[in-house]
Amino acid sequence: MAEYGEKYAEPLISEYALRRAFWWEREWRGKPMSCFVTEKKAVCKVGEKMATFYVFDTPHGVYLRPEIKLVDDWIKVAHRGDDS
C-alpha cells in the first residue's frame, strides 16, 4: 500500500477488506497494470498513472471496471472455481 500512497489506499483499508484483498498484475490497453484489489474498489497503476476501478464479484469471476465513464472495459482478474 505504500506504493500507492495514503490518498488512494485509505478508503480501501478495513480488516475485512484486507482479508479478501489480492494483488493483480497484467497488461491493459498496451500498458503494464498492477492493482491492489479489495471487495469493492481496486487501485491500479496503469503505466505511470493511478486509476481506481469498481470491483464486481460475479459467479463467473471477479471483474474490474474503470470508474471513468469514457471506458467501458471489464477486466477479468480472478476465476471462480468450486472452492471459491
12 touches 36 (CB < 8 A)? yes
- What is the percent of the chain where pLDDT is above 70? 70
Helix (H) or strand (E) holding 19: helix 15-20
Average model confidence (pLDDT) for the chain? 78
* pLDDT tens readout for residues 36-62: 888 888 999 999 989 889 998 888 888
DSSP 8-state assignment for residue 40: S
pLDDT of residue 84: 42
Among 80, 79, 81, 77, CA closest to 26? 77
pLDDT of residue 81: 59
Report the C-alpha gap between 70 and 74 in whole angstroms. Answer: 13
